[in-house]
Amino acid sequence: MTLTAPRLQLLTVAQAASLLNVSDRTIRRWIEAKKFPYLKLPSGGYRIPQTSLLASLSGTYDLGGARAELDERFADVTEEQVRAAMADSE
């Protein structure tokens, strides 16, 4: 069995801005301030490693707690119910 490393996900400025729900200009300011690693392309554009961007964030949001709350809230929902709901929305 051959193991390979996960593919590095490089984001454009627009993709990074969309991911974080901020403006392109905000991402460019963060690049200028060197808030996270980035690659500068010969064309002048930037590519931002997604994992580095997310790792550079700090705050007080408890993702694990939110996830546990959702797991508890929807523990009784079956996969069949999810599929039926998805079929109804089409």
> Structural domains in the chain?
10-89 (1.10.1660)
> What pLDDT does residue 5 have?
59
Q: On the CB side of 53, how many CA atoms lie within 13 Å of its CA? A: 24
> What pLDDT does residue 10 have?
94
For the chain (length 90 residues), average pLDDT per consecutive 10?
A: 71 96 96 94 94 84 79 85 79
Query: pTM here?
Result: 0.59
Q: How many residues does the chain have?
A: 90
> How many Å apart are CA 6 and CA 19, to the nearest integer?
20
